[in-house]
Amino acid sequence: MKTKKLALFAAGLAAAAIGLRMVGCGSARSGRTTAAEKVYVAPGELDKYYAFLSGGQSGSVFVVGIPSCRILREIPIFEPRAAYGYAVHDGDPRRAELAATGGLWGDTHHPVLSEKNGVYDGRYLWINDLSNGRLGRVRLDTFETDRILKIPNLQGAHGIAAVSPDTKYIVVNGEFEQPTDGLVTNPAPYTSVVAFVDPEKMEVKFEVRVAGNIDIADTSKDGRYAFSTVYNLEQGKEQNSMMVFDRDAVAAIDIPAAEKAVAEGRGEIRNGIPILDPAEVPGIMTLIPVPKNPHGVNVTPDGKYVMASGKLSPTVTIIDTKTLKIVAEPEVGLGPLHTTFDDRGNAFTSLFLDSQVVKWNVQKAVKGAPDYIVDRINIHYNIGHLQAVGGETMHPYGDYLLALNKLSKDQYLPVGPDMPEAQELIDISGEKMRMLASFPTPPEPHDAVFIEAKILAPKVKQVFTPGPEAIAAGQESVVRTGPHEVTVKMTMTRSAYTPDHFEVREGDRVTFQLTNVETIRDMIHGFALPDHDLNVALPPGYTKTITVDAGKPGVYWYYCTNFCSALHLEMRGRMLVQPRDSNVAIPDWKAAQNVKGPVQGVPSTGAAR
């Protein structure tokens, strides 16, 4: 019975989807350009925007070009990734950080960008790890994760936001309530904290306790307030008891007031962090009652209002950011989750249950005009976040909106019961929204943030700046550093390793210090060593230090995994592992006799791409 109903439901959805497609085709020529023309970026041409999509349980960020919807890169953050040589081996500083702060996986939801004077400056991206209460930071000149921070006193790092206009803090919300004294035997209601993180030093400055839980975050444009939705004001410990009240809250933390209280020593120090409790420090937090288990919280580009999307209520609550009073509560549809904005006074709210984006006019809703709904567009299917380009900033671009959907069902070729995640790009430049394109990703983007290519692209480095640990060409060596320790300092360039062979003994620990000495963009070399669980990729200028056991006696070819030239396949060398009791003379390690100078006679072939 249930199956039959589901089948009918699915068939209905499929029919609806086909119908929509036909409508789409028929009307495609009616606009200035076709939908296809709007997203077509010719080969060799570049996209207008970078979009950063959180990777959800992939623990990463996906970088996508908009409007082409081409996936450009994945940035691993909370999960090791051999293809990028990220955090795969012991000795990698990120791996050590990950292992020390909760483990080698994560659940990323909310990417935020650094701001200067209220505009994105292209320096950093931060993202939460819900599962292990962490914050990761990515440098945008290299697109590389450079710090992982464990947030003390907090579980379930969910909503995060940069404090405008100069990124004074990154706000991190703890979704999962904890016994205030940390003891499981405590019968008292559980509480959560909002953490305020110094974005440069990546350390927590202070925390504010919330009686209830805290979900999504945003900040006022003037640095005054951090806003968070609270959906469990009931402080329930089971699902049913979290849905008792008709109204939960938006918590508005007064940042200057909280800073003053911290400076006066009014925080209780736990794990080295001052925690302010609004029950003891009145005036640092205001709870604004909003219906019902609210989810998204979003400040309008002009900074005047903060919107709480009702989730279990079909409304969005509009709150004045100066008075913290509710000014309107328009009905928008079923399951409102998140809201974003264009540059013409419109809000766009995702409706999870209706599978729609609803466009509505903020001023009309505030004035109580009946015609505040401007347009609706169907989404395939069950939209979570949505983000208009620049919608988080004071200057939205008003051209594209990305819908990040929870289910794709029949939208792509079937690839087993587990279908890809679906994003849909919508043209919001006109009065009516127009569906342009959809593209799949691996699991599972939640939110996205955009930056204009002309701001970020010039800041992106072509090569890594070699650090003090880098091995220069000509400085390669193989040195026995102890009775059972050998250090191999190796360089790689098109298309050879130096040294191209060396000997060790069974029982040795072999430390590789590897530098890619290429000086041009995109010349990446890999270093894979069979039967030693060792594979890393090194971009130009990069150095990695990895230690492995020599393993069983034999000849092991290390080889390049990234196609780099016509001699890529020949880019390999030998690690000779002598038996422990071998009588064969082993060269004098200290003199590093078996290391040749720069490889002779190998023509520089240039890139083969």
Q: Which is nearer to ligand K7E, 147 or 295 (CB)?
A: 295
> Quick one: what does residue 213 bind among Ca ion, ligand CUA, ligand K7E, none, with the CB cut-off 5 to 8 Å set by partner type?
none
Query: Any bridge partners for residue 308, and if so which?
Result: 297, 317
Q: How far is the CB of 355 from ligand K7E (least distance, A)?
A: 14
One-letter-per-residue 3-state SS of 36-54: HHHHCCCCCCCCCEEEEEE
> Quick one: what does residue 447 bind among Ca ion, ligand K7E, ligand CUA, none, with the CB cut-off 5 to 8 Å set by partner type?
ligand K7E
Q: How far is the CB of 605 from ligand CUA (least distance, A)?
A: 11
> Quick one: what does residue 158 bind among ligand CUA, ligand K7E, Ca ion, none, with the CB cut-off 5 to 8 Å set by partner type?
ligand K7E
Q: Which of 77, 261, 428, 564 binds ligand CUA (CB under 6 A)?
A: 564
**CA–CA distance, 318 with 323 (Å, rounded to integer):** 12
Residues with Cβ within 8 Å of 271's Cβ and at least 6 positions away in sequence, in order, are: 152, 153
One-letter-per-residue 3-state SS of 185-209: CCCCCEEEEEEEEECCCCEEEEEEE
544 binds ligand CUA (CB under 6 A): no
Residues 224-263 contacting ligand CUA, CB under 6 A: none
> Quick one: what does residue 293 bind among ligand K7E, Ca ion, ligand CUA, none, with the CB cut-off 5 to 8 Å set by partner type?
Ca ion
Which strands, in side-by-side order, build the sheet including 49-54? Answer: 70-76, 60-66, 49-54, 448-452
Residues 566-585 contacting ligand CUA, CB under 6 A: 568, 571
**Six-digit token string for 299:** 């400040």
Residues with Cβ within 8 Å of 262's Cβ and at least 6 positions away in sequence, in order, are: 205, 206, 274, 276
Q: Which is nearer to Ca ion, 231 or 589 (CB)?
A: 231
Q: Which is nearer to ligand CUA, 4 or 609 (CB)?
A: 609
**CA–CA distance, 404 with 425 (Å, rounded to integer):** 9
Residue indicated by tokens 């250090």: 487
Q: Which of 115, 248, 277, 342 binds Ca ion (CB under 5 A)?
A: 248
Residues with Cβ within 8 Å of 170's Cβ and at least 6 positions away in sequence, in order, are: 112, 126, 135, 160, 161, 162, 163, 196, 197, 199
Among the listed ranges 180-188, 421-429, 465-473, 556-564, the one in contact with ligand CUA (CB under 6 A) is 556-564
Residues 227-246 contacting Ca ion, CB under 5 A: 242
Among the listed ranges 207-215, 288-296, 563-571, 594-602, the one in contact with ligand CUA (CB under 6 A) is 563-571
Binding site for ligand K7E (CB under 6 A): 109-110, 158, 216, 295, 337-338, 384-385, 446-447
Q: How far is the CB of 248 from Ca ion (least distance, A)?
A: 4
Q: Which is nearer to Ca ion, 229 or 339 (CB)?
A: 229
Q: Is the dihedral of CA 184, 188, 192, 197 positive or negative?
A: negative
Residues with Cβ within 8 Å of 138's Cβ and at least 6 positions away in sequence, in order, are: 61, 75, 77, 124, 125, 126, 127, 144, 145, 146
> Quick one: what does residue 421 bind among ligand K7E, ligand CUA, Ca ion, none, with the CB cut-off 5 to 8 Å set by partner type?
none
Residues 284-303 contacting Ca ion, CB under 5 A: 293
Query: Any bridge partners for residue 347, and if so which?
Result: 341, 360
Q: Where is 493: in which H helix or E strand?
A: strand 485-493
Enumerate the H helices of 435-503 as residue ranges.
453-456
The letter for the amino acid at 510 is: V
Classify residue 57 by burial, with Cβ atoms within 10 Å: 0-12, 13-18, 19+: middle
Among the listed ranges 139-147, 248-256, 498-506, 522-530, the one in contact with Ca ion (CB under 5 A) is 248-256
Count of Cβ atoms closer than 10 Å to residue 325 Cβ: 8
356 binds ligand CUA (CB under 6 A): no
Q: Which is nearer to ligand CUA, 405 or 493 (CB)?
A: 493
Q: Which of 48, 364, 406, 525 binds ligand CUA (CB under 6 A)?
A: 525
Residue indicated by tokens 């309107």: 328
Q: Which is nearer to ligand CUA, 364 or 494 (CB)?
A: 494
Q: Which is nearer to ligand CUA, 245 or 563 (CB)?
A: 563
> Quick one: what does residue 489 bind among ligand K7E, ligand CUA, Ca ion, none, with the CB cut-off 5 to 8 Å set by partner type?
none
Q: Which of 560, 575, 577, 595 binds ligand CUA (CB under 6 A)?
A: 560
> Which residue from 69, 65, 71 is spatially nearest to 48, judged by alpha carbons?
65
- Please give the DSSP secondary-structure letter assigned to residue 240: G
> Which residue from 169, 164, 189, 166 is spatially nearest to 179, judged by alpha carbons?
189
Q: How far is the CB of 548 from ligand CUA (least distance, A)?
A: 20
The letter for the amino acid at 81 is: R
Q: How far is the CB of 383 from ligand K7E (least distance, A)?
A: 9
> Quick one: what does residue 571 bind among Ca ion, ligand CUA, ligand K7E, none, with the CB cut-off 5 to 8 Å set by partner type?
ligand CUA
**Six-digit token string for 333:** 């549809």
Strands 434-441 and 346-351 turn out to be: unpaired
Q: Which is nearer to ligand K7E, 159 or 278 (CB)?
A: 159
Q: Which is nearer to ligand K7E, 224 or 338 (CB)?
A: 338
Q: Which residue is nearest to ligand K7E (CB)?
A: 384
> Quick one: what does residue 109 bind among Ca ion, ligand K7E, ligand CUA, none, with the CB cut-off 5 to 8 Å set by partner type?
ligand K7E
Among the listed ranges 165-173, 249-257, 435-443, 561-569, the one in contact with ligand CUA (CB under 6 A) is 561-569
Helix (H, G, I), strand (E, B) or coil at 457: helix
Tell me phi and psi for residue 578, to 5 degrees.
-75, 145
Count of Cβ atoms closer than 10 Å to residue 351 Cβ: 23
**CA–CA distance, 173 with 157 (Å, rounded to integer):** 5
562 binds ligand CUA (CB under 6 A): yes
Q: How far is the CB of 324 from ligand K7E (least distance, A)?
A: 23
Q: Which is nearer to ligand CUA, 550 or 564 (CB)?
A: 564
> Quick one: what does residue 564 bind among Ca ion, ligand CUA, ligand K7E, none, with the CB cut-off 5 to 8 Å set by partner type?
ligand CUA
Q: Which of 495, 513, 543, 578 binds ligand CUA (CB under 6 A)?
A: 495
Are 227 and 299 contacting, i.e. CB atoms less than 8 angstroms apart? yes
Q: How far is the CB of 294 from Ca ion (least distance, A)?
A: 9
**CA–CA distance, 546 with 550 (Å, rounded to integer):** 12
412 binds ligand CUA (CB under 6 A): no
Q: How far is the CB of 317 from Ca ion (least distance, A)?
A: 14
Q: Which parts of this chain interact with ligand CUA (CB under 6 A)? A: 495, 525, 560, 562-564, 568, 571
